[in-house]
């Protein structure tokens, strides 16, 4: 799922990529913490690229939830 999301992200297909990142966020358990964290980051970035209304909320939540992460 993550590879597919990243492939779409790299191609600039942010809406489709965001779908795959959301699937990871919603369905993977805590044993996939690093993967979920990275998916949360790219989900927020896709939202920014798409000018979605939730973009500011998602990136702020990511920074608050993961202070000091290299992605933030």
Give the CA distances from residue 13 to residues 23, 30, 46, 65, 70, in Å, rounded to whole numbers and listed in that order.
Answer: 16, 27, 9, 26, 24
Contact of 24 with 1, CB cutoff 8 Å: yes
Cβ(14)–Cβ(46) below 8 Å:
yes
pLDDT given at position 22: 97
36-55 residue pLDDT tens: 999 999 999 999 999 999 99
> Mean of the per-residue pLDDT values for the chain?
92
Residue 27 belongs to a domain: yes
Q: Does residue 72 lie within any of the structural domains?
A: no
State the residue range of the domain holding 47: 2-65
- Tell me the Cα Rg of the chain: 11
Q: Report the number of distinct structural domains present in the chain.
A: 1
- Tell me if 71 is assigned to some domain: no
What percent of the chain lies above the pLDDT cut of 90? 81
So what's the pLDDT on residue 72?
Answer: 46
pLDDT band at 32, cuts 50/70/90?
confident
Asked, for residue 34, whether it belongs to a domain, the answer is yes
Residue 14 CB neighbour total at 10 angstroms: 21
Please report where in the chains the tokens 């690093």 appear, as a residue.
34
- Is residue 46 situated within a structural domain? yes
């Amino acid at each position: 799922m993550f590879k597919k999301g990243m492939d779409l992200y790299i191609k600039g297909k942010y809406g489709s990529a965001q779908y795959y990142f959301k699937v990871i966020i919603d369905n993977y358990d805590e044993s996939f913490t690093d993967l979920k964290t990275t998916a949360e980051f790219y989900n927020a970035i896709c939202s920014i690229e798409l000018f979605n209304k939730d973009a500011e909320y998602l990136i702020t939540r990511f920074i608050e939830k993961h202070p000091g992460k290299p992605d933030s």
